[in-house]
Structure 1
Amino acid sequence: MDKMKAARWYAAKDIRVEETSIPIPKDNQVKIAVKFTGICGSDLHEYSNGPQLIPVDQPYSLNGHQGTTTLGHEFSGVVEEVGNNVKNIKKGDRVTVEPIFRNPESPFITTGEYNLSEPLGFVGLTSNGGFAKYTVVEDYMVHKMPETMSFEQGAIVEPAAVAAYGLQQSGMKMGDTVFVAGAGPIGLLTVQVALASGASQIFVSDVSDNRLKKAKEVGATHTFDARNKDIPQKIRELTGHGVDVFIDAAGVQASFDTGINSLRNGGTAVLVALFMNKVQHNALDQAMRELTIKGIIGYRNIFPEVIALISSGRVPVEKLVTSVISLNEIVEKGFEALINDPSEVKILVDINRQ
């Protein structure tokens, strides 16, 4: 069987770039020659503290995947081959991938809320992903890219969809004020999408000066050191009553408290980050101020809009890319760089770079 190079997760701090078999698509699958793949925060969690979502103790029930995994769920490429039952996708199509698995027996499929179907699974976590020369995905995951979109941009559609979906779920309207806690890739993409959607003021907090500078570059009107205790007071002074929308892209108690206290009465908070620890919350305050607090997982029914925003130039996601590396460099210049170098924001792996 033909071989290819891939970045394979074995355990925490054990990712190996090695030869593995080239996958063959099943009847409803698409084989993609990968061009660029982004390193996501969830990939970083698997590298640092995995397994998190990678099925190790028992196989993922939708496909039987278990154990050693080729990471990567933010990627673009060219269709190499399609399964016998695949329609509307052909060899040579330029594509990006929406990596959420859908359980066909889930009641959420019929309602269109496919991201809520269980068991939750993602390409590159509960199946082999995009840190490889080739990968196979389900046909429903594949979205065609216009010629005006580069493969680099295509690799950032997935995290941009998280940002766009968070704002969509917030009910943000043109002219609204928005506070984003956390200036990592998702937070910065939220700034870009909020700006493109007509936000009048965009506030961002983070502990990194480099990331706050990047936030200003991509559209934030005001930035704050997240360690400051007076952020809610300053935001209320600047808005008159607090922000309409709070997006938590940090996922810790401090960011949650700061954001909730910065909302206007009747405002909406959306928890975009994955909170790894429980938070305490004043439910009486929420009731008295009629606050809405929502959680999201991934996205749904939004990839076409995000592709249009990026390909039109309204959301210049390429501004977030701080490094492009080869697959062989993925550990030292990828995962370790994101852990140790505060200037890094979004790192792309050029799969064909030697």
Structure 2
Amino acid sequence: MKAIRYYGKEDVRLDEIDEPQVRPGTVKIKPAWTGLCGSDLHLYFHGVMPPAPSHDNAHPVTGEKLPVVFGHEFSGIVEEIGEGVTGFNLGEHVVVEPSVVCNECVACRDGAYNVCEKFGFVGISGRGGGLSEYVVAEERWVHSVGNMPLDEAALIEPLAVSLHAVRMVDLNEGDVAVVGGAGPIGLLTAAVLKAHGVTTIVSEVSTARREMALEFKVADYVVDPMQQDLAEFVKAHTGGAGAAAAFDCAGVQPVFDSLLKSLKARGHLQIVAIYTNNPVIDFPAMIFKELRVSASLGYAGDHQAAIDLVHSGKVNLKPFITARINAENIAQDGYQFLVDNKETQVKVIAQLQA
């Protein structure tokens, strides 16, 4: 079968590989659409990083080395059902929660498998991926999406990331929250907050992305932090109190600082972005306002709730899809296109033609 495989920095190839075979307890899926993620861009342009394996070192759970099939945000159709699997029907629309876990460490035993000591992702660490004609996944990780369009369903994975982050924060309907950064995860985080009845302020330097936050109806207010003081803006819209929560979806020091200042007493700053450098934290500000700072990674048991949000009509994923491409030229039409058009693109999805 055809598959897009990742070999290392700036090296992805369309290969012919063996078709995976269904096993007891697994489901064989024909991928439909695969979303391009920031992790894919980092791997393609900068080279291997955990949880991806290398040419010399295999992933500790999958046992695979490079090359691996790429693509971890994907939807598909059930093609074959393995022995012992009872929850699916042929032709059913599904998504795969692409978690690769050891099932043995303390985190896995506690249900926090997203922080497994040997964590990985289907489509990055091995076990196939969405950029292929077929993939086989354990029943545990396959989720039915009902009649949801398959292009929209490819966004369930990043929506689950945002939902997991929001679920970690104690918020009530009518509270005010600030989202720092209006990239794909920032916009989806704002969408989840709006779905829960939270008044949402999106802080973003890009004019195009601020406009998208309003156009997608995920922001009540938008702020250009280069032109306005975010903390003062938030105070003006909260009777001087500040925000109940803030979500760092940018991963840069200035955003972290401005979000911390925007919080009310006992407010909560949730870090959703991946930092490449350790941020400096203003501990006196935290102490004298009893602020909380926490972080989230991926998802753990959040996919069904994300699917339910879409089916309820509280989250509309269609506007987030800004381009559809043929995966055969994914390096130029996907990864490079995203870099060249990062302010106007939210989610690019790819389809591998059989």
Q: Do these two structures clear the TM 0.5 threshold for a shared fold by scoring above it?
A: yes
Task: Report the residue type matching 1:314 in the other structure.
Answer: K
Alpha-carbon deviations, 1:59-87, whole Å to 9, x = none?
11212011112111111111122333434
Q: In the alignment, is the contact (CA less than 8 A) between 1:101 and 1:122 conserved in 2?
A: yes
Residue equivalent to 1:212 = 210
Alpha-carbon deviations, 1:9-65, whole Å to 9, x = none?
111111122322222233333221001110011111111112123111411121201
Unaligned stretches of 5+ residues in structure 2: none
Matches of 2:3 and 2:225, distance apart in 1 = 38
Task: Report the residue type matching 2:184 in the other structure.
Answer: P
Matches of 1:206 and 1:166, distance apart in 2 = 19
How has the CA–CA distance of structure 1 residues 82 and 61 changed in structure 2, closer, same or farther, with 3 Å as cutoff? Answer: farther
Pair 1:21 & 2:22 matched:
no
Residue equivalent to 2:345 = 344
Residue equivalent to 2:180 = 181
Q: In the alignment, is the contact (CA less than 8 A) between 1:76 and 1:96 conserved in 2?
A: yes
Alpha-carbon deviations, 1:157-190, whole Å to 9, x = none?
0100111111111112111111111111111111
Matches of 1:221 and 1:314, distance apart in 2 = 15
Task: Report the residue type matching 1:180 in the other structure.
Answer: V
SS at match of 2:28: strand
Deviation at 1:5, TM superposition (A): 1.9
Residue equivalent to 1:138 = 138
Compare 282-291 and 272-281 and name the one that shifted more: 282-291
Matches of 2:84 and 2:57, distance apart in 1 = 29
SS at match of 1:61: coil
Deviation at 1:90, TM superposition (A): 4.2
Q: In the alignment, is the contact (CA less than 8 A) between 2:152 and 2:321 conserved in 1?
A: no
Compare 101-110 and 331-340 and name the one that shifted more: 101-110
Pair 1:160 & 2:159 matched:
yes
Identity among equivalent positions (%) equals 34
Deviation at 1:138, TM superposition (A): 2.3
SS at match of 2:17: strand
Deviation at 1:317, TM superposition (A): 1.0
SS at match of 1:170: coil
Deviation at 1:264, TM superposition (A): 0.8
Structure 1 runs of 4+ with >6 Å offset? none
Aligned match for 2:6, one of 4, 9, 24:
9
Alpha-carbon deviations, 1:245-282, whole Å to 9, x = none?
10011011111111111111110111111111111112
SS at match of 1:21: coil
Unaligned stretches of 5+ residues in structure 1: none
Q: In the alignment, is the contact (CA less than 8 A) between 1:6 and 1:327 conserved in 2?
A: no
How has the CA–CA distance of structure 1 residues 227 and 18 changed in structure 2, closer, same or farther, with 3 Å as cutoff? Answer: farther
Deviation at 1:98, TM superposition (A): 0.9
Task: Report the residue type matching 1:344 in the other structure.
Answer: Q
Q: In the alignment, is the contact (CA less than 8 A) between 1:72 and 1:123 conserved in 2?
A: yes
Q: In the alignment, is the contact (CA less than 8 A) between 1:153 and 1:310 conserved in 2?
A: no
TM-score, normalised relative to structure 1: 0.94
Task: Report the residue type matching 1:29 in the other structure.
Answer: T
The alignment yields a C-alpha RMSD, in angstroms, of: 1.6
Task: Report the residue type matching 1:61 in the other structure.
Answer: P
Residue equivalent to 1:259 = 259
Matches of 1:32 and 1:15, distance apart in 2 = 22
Q: In the alignment, is the contact (CA less than 8 A) between 1:100 and 1:121 conserved in 2?
A: yes
Matches of 1:30 and 1:63, distance apart in 2 = 17
Residue equivalent to 1:32 = 29
Q: In the alignment, is the contact (CA less than 8 A) between 2:180 and 2:203 conserved in 1?
A: yes
Task: Report the residue type matching 2:312 in the other structure.
Answer: S
Matches of 1:267 and 1:330, distance apart in 2 = 42
